Amino acid sequence: MSASIRLTNVHKRHGDLHIIRGLDLDIPAGQTVAIVGPSGSGKSTLLRLLMTLDRPSEGTIEIDGAPMWTDGQGQPATADSAHVRAVRGKIGMVFQQFNLFPHLTALGNVIEAPMYVQGLARADAEKLGREYLDKVGLGDKLDAYPAQLSGGQKQRVGIARALVMRPEIMLFDEVTSALDPELVGGILQIMRELSAQRTMTMLIVTHQMKFAEQSSDRTLFFDGGRVVEDAPSDRFFSNPRHPRARQFLQAVI
């Protein structure tokens, strides 16, 4: 099952910095969206807002039609409210820097949330955790600690840890940027397969332009806290219309 996302006039400020400058966005359930653009343009901030790690200064975010930061009665909701926790439960995120617990094994990292957020018994969580580590090709590394894993393997744990919660929306923030070049392809392949299954809505911030072109339905080009181009990915990469997007693509390809 996948969920739709709607942003209406979303702004994010940090002090005097105006980081997200009025986003209006409709993402239907099941779509795979690539998010590209220069560093500092607000891409991670958008994902953090969607993950409820941060809240908008203005505007609304709806997941499957349910506003994120107000309860059913239209009253403001806090980060630890049942409503916001339920919304967060639909969303998984994978980070550039893995963010694994160093003192837990691969399996330990993956079963943490099923046990302590969903309340599964350890045996059930481990069964599920093995299944998901197997899916990302790490069935033989269950007991390895993060320090014993390559970057690519750590990122596989990061992906399994998000998937095990069966999210309806998956957010990927430059998940290959910290990897050695020869480890990038395997991670892109996992995302490609997840996208092809159409079981989740996927937002992928990436600098891998070929991947974005070939594996996403739609591309959003960010610049200065705004989406300055929003197009089907084949059209965007073959014929970018915004001058800033053209310039960016010429510089990175």
Instruction: Name the residues that contact ligand ADP, by CB under 6 A.
Output: 14, 17, 19, 39-45
Residue 14 contacts which entry, Mg ion, ligand ADP, none (Cβ below 5-8 A, type-dependent): ligand ADP
| CA nearest to 136, candidates 193, 200, 197 | 193
Residue 232 contacts which entry, Mg ion, ligand ADP, none (Cβ below 5-8 A, type-dependent): none
Residue 208 contacts which entry, ligand ADP, Mg ion, none (Cβ below 5-8 A, type-dependent): none
44 versus 219: smaller Cβ distance to Mg ion? 44
**Burial zone of 116 (CB within 10 Å; 0-12 exposed, 13-18 middle, 19+ buried):** exposed
Shortest distance (Å) from residue 182 CB to ligand ADP: 25
> Hey, CA dihedral for 26, 32, 38, 39, is it positive or negative?
positive
The answer to whether 194 touches 187, Cβ cutoff 8 Å, is no
Query: Using the rule CB under 5 A, which residue among 2, 32, 41, 44 binds Mg ion?
Result: 44
Residue 176 contacts which entry, Mg ion, ligand ADP, none (Cβ below 5-8 A, type-dependent): none
In whole angstroms, how far apart are CA 185 and each of 148, 175, 206? 21, 11, 13
20 versus 165: smaller Cβ distance to ligand ADP? 20
**Burial zone of 89 (CB within 10 Å; 0-12 exposed, 13-18 middle, 19+ buried):** middle
List contacts with Mg ion (CB under 5 A).
Answer: 44
